[in-house]
């Protein structure tokens, strides 16, 4: 059975005449008559009776007419939904992100632009570490990721830097350093520190310690946590100092002091990553509305 059989059946049922049904369908009469005979043969039922040059539905035909209409409406809806998917106007976009993308506002900025143009598209956000996002991109578990500096030579993954977020010193307002007009590297030497766990990102820990040594001080890392909110909570409690992205100060923290250091020029970079080549229409639209090329 094909959709044309149902189209012809509904048209004949509503027109009660094969010729008029053919005119409505913009086809000749023979294909309509043939389709009705084929449908009756496939179903093993008589769908029409002829009465004074009109075709009237049999009880079985009347019973099946609403089902035929529903099937045609479902097929039309299916076609419309498929067309919308092909044009990037519907579906679901899976986005991975790191905390820094959320706190900096860069994730919200991209979502706001996309939402304004594609309000019918649903978005699923998944909090994943940078390495997990690369794996998820390769497997197709996410469509696009916002992550910390990736391997720029990763085959099959396209990247674009979105933001360089300057690292600033954060301390409790009760810390004596909070009252200092100037903070020198020596003031930080040996001070208790809150940092990312080494196991979470060994490269980042080594990079941080190298930067500190080059600046002329050595932090005493006593507390480790992967959550920015926990970092800020520990610092506010006075257990140590930390470097965090400047964007963390966008949210009010009454017990904390954020201080940029003129001699400290390091940043945390947020990148966008997606699979190549041939991204989905939905992803291509997400990139386009944010000024990026797939």
pLDDT at position 171 is 96
pLDDT at position 156 is 86
Domain 93-162+270-289, CATH among 1.20.910.10, 3.40.190.10, 3.40.50.970, 3.20.20.80: 3.40.190.10
Work out the pLDDT band at 145, boundaries 50, 70, 90. Answer: very high
State pTM to two decimals. Answer: 0.70
Question: If you average pLDDT over residues 216-235, what whole number do you get?
Answer: 94
Top mean pLDDT of 52-61, 94-103, 210-219 is at 210-219
User: Residue 220: helix, strand or coil by DSSP?
Assistant: strand
Q: What is the pLDDT of residues 8-34, one digit of tens each?
A: 888 988 888 888 888 898 999 899 889
Work out the pLDDT band at 293, boundaries 50, 70, 90. Answer: confident
Sequence spans of domains, the chain: 3-86, 93-162+270-289, 166-267
Where helices occur in the chain by DSSP H, the ranges are: 3-15, 18-25, 29-43, 59-86, 99-103, 106-117, 130-139, 185-188, 202-215, 228-236, 281-289
Q: Distance between terminal CA atoms of the chain?
A: 41
Do residues 104 and 245 make contact, with C-beta atoms less than 8 angstroms apart? yes
CATH number of 166-267: 3.40.190.10
Mean of the per-residue pLDDT values of the chain: 90
DSSP state of 241: B
């Amino acid at each position: 059975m094909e959709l044309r059989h149902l189209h012809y059946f509904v048209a004949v049922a509503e027109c009660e005449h094969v010729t008029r049904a053919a005119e409505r369908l913009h086809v000749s009469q023979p294909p309509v008559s043939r389709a009705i005979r084929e449908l009756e043969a496939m179903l093993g039922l008589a769908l029409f009776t002829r009465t004074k040059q009109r075709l009237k539905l049999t009880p079985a035909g009347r019973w099946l007419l609403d089902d035929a209409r529903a099937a045609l409406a479902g097929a039309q809806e299916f076609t419309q939904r498929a067309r919308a998917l092909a044009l990037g106007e519907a579906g679901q976009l899976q986005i991975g992100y790191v905390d820094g993308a959320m706190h900096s506002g860069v994730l919200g900025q991209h979502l706001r632009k996309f939402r304004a143009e594609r309000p019918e598209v649903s978005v699923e956000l998944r909090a994943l570490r940078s390495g997990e996002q690369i794996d998820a991109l390769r497997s197709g578990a996410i469509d696009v990721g916002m992550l910390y500096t990736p391997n720029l030579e990763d085959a099959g993954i396209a990247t674009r830097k979105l933001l360089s977020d300057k690292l600033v010193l954060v301390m409790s307002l009760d810390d004596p350093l909070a009252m200092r007009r100037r903070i020198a590297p020596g003031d930080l030497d040996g001070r208790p520190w809150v940092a990312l766990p080494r196991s979470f990102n060994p490269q980042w820990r080594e990079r941080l310690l190298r930067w500190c040594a080059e600046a002329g001080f050595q932090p005493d890392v006593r507390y480790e946590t992967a959550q920015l909110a926990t970092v800020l909570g520990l610092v506010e409690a006075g257990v140590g100092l930390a470097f965090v992205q400047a964007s963390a100060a966008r949210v009010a923290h009454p017990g904390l002091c954020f201080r940029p250091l003129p001699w400290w020029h390091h940043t945390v970079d947020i990148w966008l990553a997606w699979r190549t080549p041939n991204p989905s229409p939905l992803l291509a639209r997400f990139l386009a509305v944010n000024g990026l090329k797939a």
